[in-house]
Amino acid sequence: MRWIVWYDDGSSFTDQDGEPHEAPRWGVICIVAYSADHGRMIWHATDYYVWDEEWISCDFVGLIDYLTRPGREKTVLLGRHVPPRVFYEVYRQAEADPRMPPKTSADPLELERGLP
């Protein structure tokens, strides 16, 4: 498994369920992605997640940049702001999900953004 998208209702969609463009668009809480260096990376607390051969989290300016680049079909998922209780419940599910290898270390980018 290469990635898992987690939603505000606790459901998930993985690369085993379909292609990135087939993932539900709304209500994303976080995306867990396989990392050779860290076991798994968890992208969270972002307005938009775009597919460019891997999931990339971005703000509005990053979204516009992505959408205006020439090339193939674009895939955009939209993050959802929820009460902290809901966020942490879903994040903890993502963190403990046995479908991905355990997290072995934090990436410096995660540390800059602040892990929950």
CA 45 to CA 40: how far, in whole Å? 17
Q: Which residues, at least 6 apart from 74, have a Cβ–Cβ distance to it below 8 Å?
A: 50, 51, 66, 67
pLDDT tens digits for 103-113?
Answer: 888 877 666 55
Query: Average pLDDT, stretch 86-102?
Result: 95
Answer whether residue 102 shows pLDDT above 60: yes
Model confidence, pTM = 0.90
pLDDT tens digits for 33-79?
Answer: 999 999 999 999 899 999 999 999 999 999 999 999 998 889 999 99
CA of 18: how far to CAs of 4, 30, 81, 110, 114, in Å? 11, 17, 25, 27, 30
Selection from 12, 52, 15, 51 nearest residue 28 by Cα: 12
> Domain map of the chain by residue range?
3-100
